[in-house]
Structure 1
Amino acid sequence: MKNLLLFLFAVLFSTSVMAQVNTGDEAPGFTYTSLENEEVSLSDFDGKVVYIFFYGAGCPHCLDNGPITEEDIYQPFMENTNFVALGLDTWNDPTSANQNFRSETGITYTLLLNARQSLIDYYGNASAYDRSVVISADGTVAYKGTGFVDTDTDQVVAAIESELSKISTSQEPGDDLPKGITLAQNYPNPFNPSTTLSYTLNEASQVSLKVYNMLGAEIATLVNERQPAGQKTVSWNALTSSGGALPSGMYIYQLKAGNQVLTKKMTLIK
């Protein structure tokens, strides 16, 4: 009986250790609540290149390396609509600890809470935090870091560039244009202080893209010109455009192209 128990323990232990993914494998999905209390799933970003920072909100070296993920990995690609960055707290720390983590690191991309299970899914254990993973647009693991974030930043950036290039080279200009204009949800949302807005024109048009408060007062004009057909992206820094005077809250952004008008809401958190 003792030998049988030892055998079963060994089988279970080896299975848990092996339960991880490698480069080229399908990326395990997940759904977690963000620091802003919004439900976020990996499947929300199908067709995009996703960067994941596995961190612990109370981890000292994660606090040191968090700014690297923001400045060297996220910001160079933040205006590309085919790119998304997510931080997953694998220590399952409370919201207050994650708020402090955001404040100390300066990270502006989305942070997800209670995400330890994903660390186990990707690495086979709960101790491989402070790691980077890049997921390709087709949902497979394009890069999986084996050391702390500060040891492989160049490889991560190269992987992101490579995966984004695959998307751009597979799309011919003018292909799959919509029948009318489209306006995407800004990202990140909520944001502080910068966010990216993207839209698509089915034909050349006089374009206006403006931001309003909830009372209808105009806050900023982001675009006011004639533009050719295609996908467009605009970055808006609420701090710069308003001199830092805008309060936290909900704002409206409105796209006008020809005789078509589209409107969406976004949330500024300061």
Structure 2
Amino acid sequence: MVFLFLFGNGCPSCKSIGNDTETRVQEIYGARDDFQALGLDLWNSTSSVTTITAFKSSTKITYPLLLKAGDMEQKYTTTYDRVLVIDQEGKIGHKGSTVVNNDLDNAVSVIEGLLATTSAGYLEVADGSPAIGLYPNPVDQNASLHLILAKEAMVDIRIYNLAGQEFIYLGEEALSSGSHVRDIPSGDLPSGIYVLRALISGQVYTRKMVVN
């Protein structure tokens, strides 16, 4: 799952609410493997390392802030001072229609609901272990997907970028209960953050994958 804070590097209201996205979102959910917060600077004309550093300093944001992301404005048909939540399937789970100060409560509620749905799926996995593990992560060359299944299941594995584009499809197969390992050909992926989605007997699980 991905939380997106769309901001302008010189936007006063964005600076004012920025720290709330840190304390109410990043500090609470940021340590989870299935969650990533990102900030996208839509003010391309003034977006630079200097302006982003100043914005980060004033808001105390610790999650990544990306420069010159103005093309996202057209892609998501939105503007700055908005938040979006991309769900475990790479679809928009929440799209703010007002300034973040009036919408953050709604976004947090959506995040909590979506993460609760994912966590419930762990009940099917033996010994309380997560359904999937990704090693190593961050990835330098290739990675391995480790599955632990409590019972036989149909498994479909795909990897998407944050724009929802599918980069890798490992196929769909029936797997028996127990442990399974699958190689992920991630060596040719551009550096960045990706979402690994595992569809296991109709239940969606996600993992954040970072490629160096």
TM-score by length of 2: 0.59
Q: Report the Cα distance in structure 2 between the residues aligned to 1:140 and 1:162, rounded to whole angstroms.
A: 15
Once the two structures are superposed, what CA deviation does each residue of 1:76-116 show, in whole Å capped at 9, x if it has no partner?
11121111000000001122101100111100001111100
Q: Report the Cα distance in structure 1 between the residues aligned to 2:39 and 2:102, rounded to whole angstroms.
A: 18
Deviation, 1:173, is 2.7
Give the corresponding residue for 2:52.
98
Deviation, 1:121, is 1.1
- Structure of greater Rg: 1
SS in 2 for 1:53: strand
| Structure 1 residues 109 and 182, CA gap change in structure 2 (3 angstroms) | same
| Structure 1 residues 177 and 115, CA gap change in structure 2 (3 angstroms) | closer
Q: Mind listing any 5+ residue stretches in structure 1 that lack a counterpart?
A: 1-48, 187-199, 203-270
Contact 1:73 1:153 in 2 (8 A): no
| Structure 1 residues 94 and 153, CA gap change in structure 2 (3 angstroms) | same
SS in 2 for 1:99: helix
How many aligned positions are there? 138
2:93 partner amino acid: A
Give the corresponding residue for 1:112.
66
SS in 1 for 2:76: helix
Counterpart check, 1:70 vs 2:22? yes
As a proportion of its length, which structure holds more strand?
2
Contact 2:5 2:40 in 1 (8 A): yes
Give the corresponding residue for 2:96.
145
Q: Mind listing any 5+ residue stretches in structure 2 that lack a counterpart?
A: 140-145, 149-212
| Structure 1 residues 107 and 176, CA gap change in structure 2 (3 angstroms) | closer
Contact 2:7 2:80 in 1 (8 A): yes
SS in 2 for 1:85: strand
Alpha-carbon RMSD across the aligned residues, in angstroms, is 2.6
Contact 2:3 2:38 in 1 (8 A): yes
Deviation, 1:176, is 4.7
Of 108-117 and 163-172, more deviation after overlay is shown by: 163-172
Matches within 5 A, 1:160-199: 160-171=111-122, 172-174=124-126, 176=131, 182-185=135-138
